[in-house]
């Protein structure tokens, strides 16, 4: 490559060390833009988000922001105990906020835009229990404000100035529509933050005296006493009651408040606080906790539990912390507390008849707790109905089993009744989720049909014929299910709300490959429909594409699937093979039948966002999204014991299928992926010659750096060393003889995917003479956020492919209107 080419801006990257031929050079400090029409698409607005009020009377549209400028990520940031904080806001460092609100009356269709002052993001949206008000926060330059919108008036008012503490958990929760909210606020007399010493006071020392305390590879942990002081300073809050006029009453002294929730009747407060000792090995969510019930004035009346530091949870999946780890209020009662605690010391490897116990105790909390349910598997959830009915679910990872039980809270001696028992990866037989509604205390409870003996289930409707969401009425005594509604071609349509007990009025979210998601109200008795929203296509360039869900067979008989995208107007019979990009992410299964199920909805609306590989269609590439690559371990066999063999078989199956159809040709395919998909891409380059090039974004490539488990692997490095080494692309870097593009966020916060992972694989391939490019994105995390980084990543991906898998001329764009809203 010439010096002119090296200094041409088209060959620059953001940061990092890269190698052209055998000559290493430092990267240019410039961001590159992807080719058109990709660059213009990135600046087009996305369709709004939607939230429907619990009382089904109001629909709120939430305007989404454009892609974040890099300057937002460059703001001050603290990394403490697994958190990334903006110290100026007292909030998360990478918060996503909406830009505007519009209120719509569902019955009349009347819409009102909520007028707000200039702000930097709308977040933390919380409906009031009745659904007539919506609380939210506004980010400002100097802090976070509390606002409440009145649905009927279409207006909003500020209740608190920028004093909310949003560093951990939700800053505010509702007491009731009349009593207002509980909020965490910054102490008024806290003073300035502590300043870390310029000279260390001594060495960092940790020790372990024979105690077994395995931990996964967490990031952004505390490292010094100065970090501890900063953590304590920024997470300290005062719990305050805020009424709807903005009057504030402080209820507690300053402390490390994790959360506070009011009982359904508003008389009591469940308070969770973080306690010392802190840990340098685990994030804040595993620090010691104190849980207590306070009265409405903030006085403690019932100590629930004091949870120890949870740095010794076994790595076996379904292991949990000891003590009353889950606490909450029964939604169907005025003030009944429930909690869940492990009966197996939190160790899933123990052989015990029962895993968890669920207890309840009712205000004023002076009676002994009552045992409601002992689970045989690990507790999963409870849906509260009424005094005589609750629905409990339990699950177990090793068997992929989930069971549903009918419980009688009024009679704990009544044996639970088994209602469902299935493999939770078996999507074809998924009965759906029970629907809820506001109960007598305006908290969500199970929605019963008028007979009082039937529930409503909403499911995705995965079947061999396709994916068609449904609404069923489920009679609990007979177990009979009646299908009330189901989506049909050409739409993918799902239940958003059930409007009445009779099951005859619904709101659905409807979309198709050509139509963006919109909300519709339907009367199932009369057949009348009314469109509630009118969102437009943010990527009209893709309207003429016809995504195809393809099915093909692996050599061992497992049925696989993927979604195939071809550039508009392309015909493989007349135009010949196209260079093809596969974007993959494998998944572990315990059953061949479950692994063979096709779960992709053919009628769904799909448009690329951020650094999606489907943008490459505009440059003349065929793109295959989500080719299934199941890693199956039936019975006692662990899936990863045959990971490489199964991964290779899956890749061979999709490549052979594409070549046989004439869409691709040998030597004309590339493999890519993000996170575990990046790990997959590197492994396929190391163990096969199926692909001409690879793209690996934010992956982990050396599994000895994640020795206490990763992804679906729950064994440690020392238990199954050969598996860890065999699965690590780093171990086989000498066999990666195809060009590999490595991209990584410089501040990757994800467990196990340190930027070091890409740096070390780059170093190995460079030292072994491989063709490799390493791009590290400053300020970016595991998922890339900034407009600059996203555009640059797409530039890198397209450029890498054009170098190593060139495409024919991309489809011609005649005018800007073809890539923007008409």
Sign of the four-CA dihedral 777, 781, 785, 786: negative
Q: Is 675 a catalytic residue?
A: yes
Q: Tokens for 619, please give them.
A: 């440059």
Measured CA to CA, the distance from residue 647 to residue 640 in angstroms comes to 10
Q: Tell me the Ramachandran region of residue 216: left when phi exceeds 0, alpha when psi lies from -120 to 50, beta otherwise.
A: beta
Q: How far is CA 172 from CA 107, 187, 246, in A?
A: 30, 15, 13
Q: Which of 748, 758, 786, 804 is catalytic?
A: 748
Measured CA to CA, the distance from residue 484 to residue 490 in angstroms comes to 19
Show Cβ contacts of residue 452 under 8 Å, excluding neighbours closer than 6 positions: none
- With H, G, I as helix, E, B as strand and everything else as coil, classify residue 470: strand
Helix pair angle (676-687, 643-660), 10° resolution: 80
End-to-end C-alpha distance for the chain, whole angstroms: 43
**Owner of token pair 């998922």:** 783
Show Cβ contacts of residue 698 under 8 Å, excluding neighbours closer than 6 positions: 674, 675, 678, 743, 744, 745, 748, 750, 753, 758, 782, 783
- With H, G, I as helix, E, B as strand and everything else as coil, classify residue 798: helix
Measured CA to CA, the distance from residue 701 to residue 681 in angstroms comes to 10
Sign of the four-CA dihedral 318, 322, 324, 326: negative
Q: Which of 61, 319, 454, 675 is catalytic?
A: 675
| Helix residue ranges, H only, 548-702 | 572-575, 592-595, 643-660, 676-687
Q: Which of 386, 475, 501, 782 is catalytic?
A: 782
Q: Is residue 157 within 8 Å of residue 148, measured between CB atoms?
A: yes
**Owner of token pair 């096969």:** 688
Q: How far is CA 602 from CA 256, 356, 562, 581, in A?
A: 48, 40, 10, 20
DSSP 8-class letter at 343: S
The 3-state secondary structure of 637-660 reads CCHHHHHHHHHHHHHHHHHHHHHH
Q: How far is CA 126 from CA 60, 335, 360, in A?
A: 12, 21, 26
Query: Residue 641: phi, psi to the nearest 5?
Result: -65, -25
Measured CA to CA, the distance from residue 31 to residue 340 in angstroms comes to 51
Measured CA to CA, the distance from residue 115 to residue 145 in angstroms comes to 15
Q: Is residue 250 within 8 Å of residue 783, measured between CB atoms?
A: no
Torsion of CA 281, 779, 43, 60, to 10 degrees: 30
Measured CA to CA, the distance from residue 420 to residue 436 in angstroms comes to 19
Strands 548-553 and 529-531, how do they pair? Answer: unpaired
Alpha carbon 92 to chain centroid distance? Answer: 16
Q: Tokens for 518, please give them.
A: 């919109």
Q: Is 732 a catalytic residue?
A: no
Measured CA to CA, the distance from residue 389 to residue 446 in angstroms comes to 9
Measured CA to CA, the distance from residue 570 to residue 567 in angstroms comes to 6
Strands 630-632 and 622-625, how do they pair? Answer: unpaired
**Owner of token pair 């990709």:** 38
DSSP H or E run through 588: strand 587-589
Q: Is 512 a catalytic residue?
A: no
The residues annotated as belonging to the active site are: 675, 748, 782
């Amino acid at each position: 490559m010439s010096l002119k080419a090296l200094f041409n801006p088209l060959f620059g990257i953001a940061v990092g060390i890269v190698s052209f031929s055998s000559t290493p050079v430092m990267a240019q400090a410039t961001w590159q833009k992807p080719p058109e029409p990709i660059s213009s698409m990135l600046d087009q607005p996305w369709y709004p988000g939607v939230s429907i009020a619990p009382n089904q009377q109001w629909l709120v549209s939430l305007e989404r922001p454009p892609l974040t400028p890099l300057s937002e990520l460059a703001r001050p940031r603290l990394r403490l105990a697994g958190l990334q904080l903006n110290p100026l806001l007292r909030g998360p460092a990478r918060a996503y906020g909406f830009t505007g609100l519009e209120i719509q009356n569902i019955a009349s269709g009347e819409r009102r835009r909520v007028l707000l002052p200039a702000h930097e993001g709308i977040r933390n949206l919380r409906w009031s229990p009745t659904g007539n008000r919506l609380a939210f926060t506004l980010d400002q330059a100097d802090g976070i404000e509390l606002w409440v919108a009145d649905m009927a008036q279409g207006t909003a008012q500020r209740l608190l100035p920028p004093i909310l503490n949003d560093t951990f958990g939700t800053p505010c929760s509702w007491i009731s529509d009349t009593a207002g909210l509980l909020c965490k606020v910054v102490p008024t007399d806290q003073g300035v933050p502590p300043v870390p010493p310029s000279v260390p006071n001594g060495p960092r020392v940790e020790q372990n005296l024979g105690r077994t305390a395995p931990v996964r590879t967490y990031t952004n942990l505390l490292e010094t006493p100065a970090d501890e002081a900063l953590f304590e300073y920024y997470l300290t809050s005062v719990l305050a009651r805020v009424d709807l006029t903005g009057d504030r009453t402080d209820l507690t002294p300053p402390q490390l408040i994790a959360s506070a929730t009011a009982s359904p009747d508003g008389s009591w407060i469940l308070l969770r606080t973080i306690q010392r000792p802190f840990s340098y090995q685990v994030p804040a969510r595993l620090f010691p906790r104190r849980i207590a019930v306070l009265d409405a004035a903030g006085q403690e009346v019932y100590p629930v539990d004091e949870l120890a530091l949870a740095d010794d949870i076994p790595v076996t999946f379904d292991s949990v912390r000891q003590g009353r780890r889950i606490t909450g209020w029964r939604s169907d009662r005025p003030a009944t507390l429930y909690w869940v605690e492990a009966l197996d010391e939190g160790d899933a490897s123990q052989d015990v008849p029962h895993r968890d116990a669920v207890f309840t105790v009712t205000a004023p909390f002076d009676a002994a707790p009552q045992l409601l349910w002992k689970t045989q598997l690990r507790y999963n959830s409870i849906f509260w109905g009424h005094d005589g009915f609750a629905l409990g679910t339990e699950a177990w990872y090793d068997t992929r089993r989930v069971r549903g039980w009918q419980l009688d809270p009024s009679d704990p001696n009544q044996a639970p009744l088994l209602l469902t028992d299935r493999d939770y990866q078996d999507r074809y037989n998924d009965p759906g989720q029970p629907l809820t509604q506001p109960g007598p205390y305006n908290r969500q409870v199970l929605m019963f049909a008028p007979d009082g003996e039937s529930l409503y289930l909403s499911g995705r409707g995965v079947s061999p014929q396709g994916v068609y969401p449904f609404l069923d009425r489920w009679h609990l005594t007979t177990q009979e299910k009646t299908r009330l509604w189901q989506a049909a071609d050409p739409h993918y349509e799902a239940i958003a709300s059930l409007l009445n007990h009779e099951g005859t009025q619904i709101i659905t979210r409807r979309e198709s490959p050509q139509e963006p998601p919109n909300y519709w109200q339907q009367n199932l008795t009369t057949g009348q429909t009314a469109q509630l929203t009118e969102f437009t296509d943010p990527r009209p360039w893709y309207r003429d594409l016809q995504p195809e869900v393809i099915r093909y067979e692996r050599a061992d008989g497992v049925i696989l699937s993927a979604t195939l995208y071809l550039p508009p107007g392309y015909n493989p019979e007349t135009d010949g093979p196209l260079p093809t990009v596969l974007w993959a992410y494998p998944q572990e299964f315990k059953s061949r039948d479950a692994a063979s199920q096709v779960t992709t909805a053919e009628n769904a609306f799909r448009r690329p966002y951020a650094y999606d590989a489907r943008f490459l269609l505009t440059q003349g590439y065929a793109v295959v999204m989500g080719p299934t690559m199941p890693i199956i371990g039936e019975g006692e066999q662990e899936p990863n014991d045959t990971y490489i063999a199964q991964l290779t078989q899956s890749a061979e199956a999709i490549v052979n299928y594409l070549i046989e159809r004439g869409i691709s040709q040998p030597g004309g395919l590339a493999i890519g992926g993000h996170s575990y998909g990046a790990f997959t891409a590197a492994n396929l380059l190391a163990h096969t010659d199926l692909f001409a090039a690879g793209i690996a974004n934010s992956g982990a490539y050396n599994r000895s750096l994640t020795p206490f488990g990763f992804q679906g692997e729950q064994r440690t490095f020392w238990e199954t060393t050969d598996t860890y080494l065999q699965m690590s692309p780093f171990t086989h870097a000498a066999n990666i003889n195809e060009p590999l593009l490595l991209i990584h966020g410089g501040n990757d916060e994800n467990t196990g995917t340190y930027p070091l992972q890409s740096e070390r694989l780059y170093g190995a391939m460079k030292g072994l003479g491989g063709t490799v490019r390493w791009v590290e994105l400053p300020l970016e995390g595991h998922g890339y956020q900034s407009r600059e980084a996203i555009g640059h990543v797409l530039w890198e991906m397209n450029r890498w492919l054009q170098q190593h898998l060139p495409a024919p001329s991309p489809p011609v764009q005649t005018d800007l209107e073809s890539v923007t809203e008409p």
